[in-house]
C-alpha cells in the first residue's frame, strides 16, 4: 500500500525556516566558542603586575569568558620556573571579584582563572619558540580557532627591542589572527630617544599592532571627558571657548615621596613622569575640537594632533619647579652617591600652557604635579568667567540661579575628599546629561570642593568603580585604539616638552619641606605667559647637612668683575634687580632729557627680563621710551627666530610703546635679506644718528656667548670690532649665519652697558673672560669698555660659581 503524499501546509514552511535559522545560529555560536585568545604578561612577577595587571586580566576573563571566548594566560619573566611560579602564585592570591558576585561563584571563577594561568620563563629565543609551539599544540588539541595574541610588556623599555625581535621572529599568530603588543611608559626620555624607540619598535610591529598605555586614559573620569562633551554639546557649545573660560587646571598631587624609586626618578623627574603624558593627554581631551563621532578612534587622534600643532612653545619662564628637602639624601643613600651630591631633579612642577587657536587664545592651562604634597588628588577643573554683579546679599543667592556664585566643571579623577571618580557641574551652569553607567551622588555633610559646598553642584559618580588597567585591557581585547598613544601622538608630545626640559636641566629647584609644612612655599602666580612663585625665596647656594636656607640667608651679591661692578644672585632675583635698575635709569633719563633710548639684545637670556618688565613695572615710562635692537638675524621679522619677534611676543604686545618709537633693524628690504646693495646697515646707522644724541644710547643690554661673542660680533668675524661704522653685517658660526649688529665702537658710546650672563653653560667662558685683557678679536665681549659710561655685569649664581 503506497503512503499518501505529505500535505505541506503554508504555515509549516515558516516553522521549518525558523528551525533551520535556529540550527544555523547554534552552529555559528559553536564556531564562536572555538575562538581562543592567548595573553602573555611579560614581567608577570613585578610590582605593576601584582598591583594592577593580574586583577585587570581576571576582570577581562570575567567579562568575556561567558561570551564565547576561551583564554589562556601565560605569566612570563626572566626568573627560573620554580621560583617564578611561586612568585606568580603569590601575586594571584590577591585577586578579587565584583562586590555583587556571590562568594561561592567568586571562588569558582578564581579557581577556573588559576587553572588557565601558568608561569613560564622567557629569556632566550628558544624560550619564545617553545611558547609558540605550546600555544599551537593547545589550539590543535582542543580544536580551537585562534583569534589572536596579546603580549603585555610590563618590563623596562631597554628590554623592548629583544622581546620585540623574538615575538616577531617566533611568536606571531597564524594567518587570520591578530597580534596586539601592549607597551607601558616611559616611552623615551626626550624627543630623540622617543624617536629612536619608535623606529626600533616600528621595525618589528605595525602601528595598528601597538597599544601604548597611559593608564590615566583608563581612569573613569578621564574616559568620560569626550562622551560628556558630546552628550552636552548643546549646553557647552556656547561656553567652551576663550570668551567664557577663565582658566583650566589639570592637577595630580601625591602625598608619597620617591623613596625606593630614586633610580627611576633621577632619570625622569616629575615632568617626564606625569606632565608629559598623563596631564598632557587630559589637556588634549579638554582642548580638542569635538569630532562629529567621538567613538571614531581615527577622528579623535586626528583632533588631538591639531591641539599639539596649536600649542605655544614652552620656555624656561613657563614653569616653576621644586624638590622636597629629603630627596637628595634619599638619592645619596639609595644610589650610593657621595655626601657632596645634590640632585637638581624636580619632584614638583607647575607649567603654564597656551593653546593658540581661535577657541582658546589667551586662556591659561595650568598643569601641576608633585610628590610629598599635602593631599593625594587628581582633577581637571574648567573655571568659567563670572561677570555678574548681584544686588541682593550673598545669603539670598540660590545655587541653581545666582550667577554670582562660582561657575565650574570638574572631572574629579580620584582620591581627595571625594575619594572616587566624579563629574561635578555648578548648578548655575546647566544640568548635565550623563550615561546610565553614572549616577547622582551624595557626599558627606558639610563637604566643600573648590570653594563651594557639594550641594552647589550636580554631582555624578560611576555606578561601578573600575580600575584603569581593567578598562584599558578591555579596550585592548576589543581593538579600541582611541584610549592609547600612537607614535605620531607620542612624538608630538615629546616635541612640545623637550625644549622646556632642556632649559630646566641646570635650574636649581625650590626646596620644600613636604606635606602641610610646605605652607605657601609652592604657591605660584601667572601673568603674560610667565609663571613664578608667589613668595620670593633665594635658594641655598651650597646646601649643607643643616637646615634648609631661609629667604634671608642669601641676598644680592655686589662685587667686581673685570674691574667693573658685578651684581650676582639667583636667576629670579637677578632678573628682578636688573629690571629695577633699567626702570630707574629710564625714569632718570626721561626726567632729564624727555626720552629714554634702550638697545636690547635678542636670544633666550633676556626673555625672563622682558616678561618681568611687561608684568611688574607699571611705572616704566614706556610712552617716552625708544626701543632699538642690538642685533638681528637675517630672517623676516615675522620669523620665530627673529630677535624682533621675540621682543614682540614677550614685551611689546604687553606694554604701550608708541609704534613710531619702535626701531627694528632693516634686515628685510626689496624682498631680500641683508643684501649689501640694499644698505640696511647704513639706513639703521642714519636713523640712530638722527634720533639718538651723539649716537649715545642711554642703556645697552648685552649678553655673552659661550665663545665670548656679544651682540652679533663673533671671534671668527672681526667686522664691527673697530672702525667708524655704527652698524655692520656680520657672519655667525651658527645658522642663520648672516646677522646685523651694532658695532663695538657704537656700543662703547653708551651711557650705560649692562651685560646679562645666566646659566651653567656660561661658567667656563665666565672664568676665562675674568682673566683676559682687552682682546676683542679673540673674545669680543672683552672689548666692551664704555668710553665715558658705566659697565655693569649681571650674573646669576649658576654662571658666577666659576
For 504-554, write each residue's pLDDT tens digit. 988 889 999 999 998 899 999 988 778 889 887 544 443 434 444 443 344
Q: Do domains 217-386+404-443+450-504 and 560-800 have the same CATH topology?
A: no
pLDDT, residue 13, reads 52
- Say if strands 752-757 and 662-663 run parallel, antiparallel, or are unpaired: unpaired
Q: At what angle do helices 280-287 and 297-310 cross, to 10 degrees?
A: 100
User: 560-800 belongs to which CATH class?
Assistant: alpha beta
- Which of 384-388, 410-414, 708-712 is the least confident region? 384-388
CA distance 283 to 278: 9
Q: What is the mean pLDDT of residues 311-316?
A: 89
351 is written with which cell numbers? 607649567
CA angle 470, 476, 481 (to 5 degrees): 120
Residues of the chain above pLDDT 70, percent? 92
End-to-end CA distance of the chain: 121
For domain 35-184, the CATH architecture is: 3-Layer(aba) Sandwich (3.40)
Domain edges within the chain: 35-184, 217-386+404-443+450-504, 560-800
Nearest alpha-carbon partner for 117 in 74, 173, 78: 74
pLDDT at 691 over 80: yes
pLDDT at 493 over 50: yes
Any idea which residues carry the catalytic annotation? 278
CA distance 502 to 523: 24
Does the domain made of 217-386+404-443+450-504 have the CATH classification 1.10.10.410?
A: no
CA distance 65 to 39: 13
Please answer whether residues 394 and 427 qualify as being in contact, where contact means their C-beta atoms are separated by less than 8 angstroms: no
pLDDT (tens digit per residue) in 703-743: 999 999 999 999 977 899 999 999 999 999 988 889 999 99
0.75 exceeded by pTM: no
- Say if strands 625-629 and 662-663 run parallel, antiparallel, or are unpaired: parallel
Mean pLDDT of the chain: 89
Residues 6 or more apart in contact with residue 556 via CB below 8 angstroms: 567, 568, 569, 573, 574, 577
Please answer whether residues 689 and 704 qualify as being in contact, where contact means their C-beta atoms are separated by less than 8 angstroms: no
Amino acid at each position: 500500500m503506497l503512503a499518501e503524499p505529505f500535505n505541506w501546509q503554508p504555515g509549516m514552511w515558516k516553522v521549518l525556516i525558523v528551525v533551520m535559522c535556529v540550527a544555523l545560529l547554534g552552529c555559528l555560536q559553536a564556531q564562536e566558542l572555538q575562538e581562543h585568545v592567548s595573553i602573555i604578561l611579560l614581567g608577570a612577577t613585578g610590582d605593576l603586575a601584582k598591583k594592577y595587571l593580574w586583577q585587570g586580566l581576571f576582570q577581562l576573563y570575567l567579562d568575556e569568558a561567558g561570551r564565547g571566548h576561551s583564554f589562556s594566560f601565560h605569566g612570563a619573566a626572566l626568573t627560573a620556573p620554580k621560583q617564578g611560579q611561586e612568585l606568580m602564585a603569590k601575586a594571584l592570591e590577591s585577586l578579587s571579584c565584583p562586590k555583587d558576585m556571590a562568594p561561592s561563584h567568586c571562588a569558582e571563577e578564581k579557581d577556573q582563572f588559576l587553572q588557565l594561568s601558568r608561569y613560564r620563563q622567557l629569556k632566550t629565543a628558544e624560550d619564545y619558540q617553545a611558547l609558540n609551539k605550546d600555544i599551537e599544540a593547545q589550539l590543535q588539541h582542543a580544536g580551537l580557532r585562534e583569534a589572536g595574541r596579546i603580549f603585555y610588556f610590563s618590563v623596562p623599555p631597554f628590554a623592548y627591542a629583544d622581546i620585540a625581535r623574538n615575538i616577531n621572529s617566533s611568536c606571531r599568530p597564524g594567518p587570520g589572527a591578530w597580534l596586539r603588543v601592549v607597551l607601558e611608559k616611559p616611552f623615551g626620555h626626550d624627543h630623540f630617544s622617543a624617536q629612536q624607540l619608535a623606529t626600533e619598535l616600528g621595525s618589528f610591529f605595525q602601528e595598528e599592532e601597538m597599544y601604548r598605555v597611559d593608564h590615566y586614559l583608563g581612569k573613569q573620569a578621564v574616559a568620560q571627558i569626550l562622551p560628556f562633551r558630546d552628550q552636552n554639546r548643546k549646553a557647552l557649545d556656547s561656553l567652551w571657548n576663550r570668551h567664557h573660560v577663565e582658566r583650566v587646571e589639570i592637577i595630580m598631587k601625591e602625598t608619597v615621596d620617591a623613596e625606593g624609586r630614586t633610580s627611576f626618578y633621577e632619570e625622569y623627574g616629575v615632568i617626564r613622569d606625569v606632565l608629559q603624558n598623563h596631564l598632557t593627554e587630559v589637556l588634549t581631551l579638554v582642548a580638542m575640537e569635538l569630532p562629529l563621532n567621538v567613538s571614531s578612534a581615527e577622528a579623535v587622534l586626528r583632533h588631538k594632533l591639531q591641539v599639539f600643532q596649536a600649542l605655544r612653545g614652552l620656555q624656561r619662564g613657563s614653569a616653576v619647579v621644586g624638590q622636597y628637602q629629603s630627596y637628595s639624601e634619599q638619592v645619596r643613600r639609595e644610589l650610593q652617591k657621595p655626601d657632596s651630591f645634590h640632585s637638581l631633579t624636580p619632584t614638583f612642577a607647575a607649567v603654564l600652557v597656551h593653546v593658540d587657536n581661535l577657541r582658546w587664545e589667551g586662556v591659561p592651562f595650568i598643569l601641576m604635579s608633585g610628590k610629598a604634597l599635602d593631599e593625594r588628588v587628581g582633577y581637571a577643573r574648567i573655571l568659567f568667567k563670572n561677570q555678574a554683579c548681584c544686588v541682593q546679599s550673598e545669603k539670598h543667592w540660590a545655587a541653581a540661579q545666582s550667577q554670582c556664585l562660582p561657575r565650574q566643571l570638574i572631572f574629579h579623577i580620584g582620591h581627595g575628599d571625594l575619594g572616587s571618580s566624579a563629574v561635578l557641574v555648578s548648578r548655575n551652569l546647566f544640568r548635565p546629561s550623563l550615561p546610565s553607567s553614572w549616577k547622582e551622588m551624595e557626599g558627606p555633610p558639610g563637604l566643600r570642593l573648590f570653594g563651594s559646598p557639594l550641594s552647589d553642584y550636580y554631582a555624578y559618580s560611576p555606578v561601578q568603580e573600575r580600575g584603569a588597567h581593567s578598562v584599558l585591557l578591555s579596550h585592548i581585547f576589543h581593538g579600541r585604539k582611541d584610549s592609547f598613544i600612537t607614535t605620531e601622538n607620542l612624538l608630538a608630545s615629546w616635541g612640545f616638552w623637550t625644549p622646556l626640559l632642556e632649559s630646566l636641566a641646570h635650574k636649581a629647584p625650590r626646596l620644600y619641606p613636604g606635606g602641610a609644612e610646605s605652607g605657601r612655599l609652592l604657591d605660584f602666580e601667572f601673568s603674560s605667559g610667565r609663571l613664578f612663585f608667589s613668595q620670593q625665596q633665594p635658594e641655598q647656594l651650597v646646601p649643607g647637612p643643616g637646615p634648609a636656607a631661609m629667604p634671608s640667608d642669601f641676598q644680592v651679591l655686589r662685587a667686581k668683575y673685570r674691574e667693573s661692578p658685578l651684581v650676582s644672585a639667583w636667576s629670579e632675583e637677578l632678573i628682578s634687580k636688573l629690571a629695577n635698575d633699567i626702570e630707574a635709569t629710564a625714569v632718570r633719563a626721561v626726567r632729564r632729557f624727555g626720552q629714554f633710548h634702550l638697545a636690547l639684545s635678542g636670544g633666550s637670556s633676556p626673555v625672563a627680563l622682558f616678561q618681568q618688565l611687561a608684568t611688574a613695572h607699571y611705572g616704566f615710562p614706556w610712552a617716552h621710551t625708544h626701543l632699538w635692537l642690538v642685533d638681528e638675524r637675517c630672517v623676516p621679522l615675522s620669523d620665530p627666530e627673529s630677535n624682533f619677534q621675540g621682543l614682540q611676543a614677550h614685551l611689546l604686545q604687553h606694554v604701550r610703546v608708541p609704534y613710531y618709537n619702535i626701531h627694528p633693524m632693516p634686515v628685510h628690504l626689496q624682498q631680500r635679506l641683508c643684501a649689501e646693495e640694499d644698505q640696511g646697515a647704513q639706513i639703521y646707522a642714519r636713523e640712530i644718528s638722527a634720533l639718538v644724541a651723539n649716537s649715545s644710547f642711554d642703556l645697552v643690554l648685552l649678553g655673552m656667548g659661550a665663545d665670548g661673542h656679544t651682540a652679533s660680533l663673533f671671534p671668527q668675524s672681526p667686522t664691527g670690532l673697530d672702525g667708524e661704522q655704527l652698524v655692520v653685517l656680520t657672519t655667525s658660526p651658527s645658522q642663520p649665519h648672516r646677522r646685523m649688529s651694532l658695532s663695538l665702537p657704537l656700543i662703547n658710546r653708551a651711557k650705560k652697558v649692562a651685560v646679562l650672563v645666566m646659566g651653567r653653560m656660561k661658567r667656563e667662558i665666565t672664568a676665562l673672560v675674568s682673566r683676559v685683557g682687552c682682546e676683542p678679536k679673540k673674545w669680543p665681549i672683552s672689548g666692551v669698555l664704555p668710553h665715558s659710561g658705566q659697565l655693569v655685569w649681571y650674573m646669576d649664581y649658576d654662571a658666577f660659581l666659576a
